Amino acid sequence: MENIVKEFLEKKNIAVAGSFKSKEKVAYRILLELIKKGYNVFPINPNLNEIEGIKCYGLVNDIPVTVDAIDIVTPPEVTEKIVEDCKIKGIKYIWMQPGAESEKAIKFCENNNIKAIYNMCLLVKSI
């Protein structure tokens, strides 16, 4: 999985799906850290129009440009839908934060040639 982490972090266009209600939320912290590191970020939350001055998208498929990777910080049942959308969008790298993963989402990634990272936090592991 270390090679997949390295490949994920080499990508430049990264979506972040989750709750951005406060700066204490994991998704919000990941978004800010990715911005700080110079990544092009695309927040995904159907309840927001904008976060940190960046357009927020309702769904993965609403993003009008190519997205290389996504970090998911959602309940497992939401993650399962997001990984299906990632396949349609052509996203090949998915990082499921602890608590966001499910066996179904992991198997979907394996069966669809999507490189999945799980059981580790992006903030702790890599940035």
Q: Residue 24: pLDDT above 90? A: no
pLDDT in tens, 28-57: 999 999 999 999 999 999 999 999 899 999
**Quick one: tokens of 16?**
């972040």
Q: Give the residue, 21 or 39, on which the prediction is more confident.
A: 39
The CATH H-level (homologous superfamily) assignment of domain 2-125 is NAD(P)-binding Rossmann-like Domain (3.40.50.720)
| 46, 58 Cβ separation under 8 angstroms | yes
Pick from 49, 74, 55, 98: nearest CA to 86 = 74
Asked if 96 and 116 count as a contact pair (C-beta separation under 8 A), the reply is: yes
* CA–CA distance, 58 with 99 (Å, rounded to integer): 21
The answer to whether the pTM exceeds 0.85 is yes
Boundaries of every domain in the chain: 2-125
